[in-house]
């Protein structure tokens, strides 16, 4: 599996800075209170952010990018299918003029009753 970089240089520098800040804060707190597990978890999260910044790869960003790619491919496939079916028409001919007339007639034929104008 080839891992490609998915975050920019500025984002990486911010992650390294914030990661080292959280890591140093959590380590200082962990020295004073070693029984607290929350500081250990914060140290691990800070170290993870430092690693993400150095490698310029974020697994969470990769998951979201893959999800967005699969969603856009599915939507693109559906929209292309709709356009092709609209252009094809009956017997493979282009009858867009007839479709426009059908749409116009549907808009004119509404089920709402005509109400008299009553300014009050």
Can you give the pLDDT of all 120 residues of the chain as single tens digits?
A: 677 889 999 999 999 999 999 999 999 999 999 999 999 999 999 999 999 999 999 999 989 888 888 777 666 555 555 555 555 555 544 455 555 555 555 555 555 566 666 776
Provide CB contacts within 8 A for 89, sequence distance 6+: 95, 96, 98, 99
pLDDT for residue 92: 46
pLDDT for residue 82: 52
Among 22, 8, 2, which Cα is nearest to 61's?
8
Provide CB contacts within 8 A for 86, sequence distance 6+: 96, 99
User: pTM of the entire structure?
Assistant: 0.56
For 104, 111, 113, the CA distances from 119, given in Å and listed in that order, are: 30, 23, 18
- Between CA 81 and CA 88 the distance in angstroms is 11
């Amino acid at each position: 599996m080839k891992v490609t970089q998915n975050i920019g240089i500025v984002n990486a520098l911010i992650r390294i800075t914030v990661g080292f800040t959280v890591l140093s804060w959590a380590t200082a707190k962990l020295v004073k209170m070693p029984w607290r597990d929350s500081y250990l978890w914060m140290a691990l999260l800070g170290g993870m952010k430092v690693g993400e910044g150095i490698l310029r790869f974020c697994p969470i960003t990769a998951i979201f990018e893959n999800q967005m790619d699969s969603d856009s491919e599915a939507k693109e496939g559906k929209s292309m299918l709709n356009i092709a079916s609209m252009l094809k028409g009956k017997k493979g001919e282009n009858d867009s003029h007839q479709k426009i007339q059908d749409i116009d007639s549907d808009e004119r034929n509404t089920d709402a009753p005509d109400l008299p104008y009553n300014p009050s």
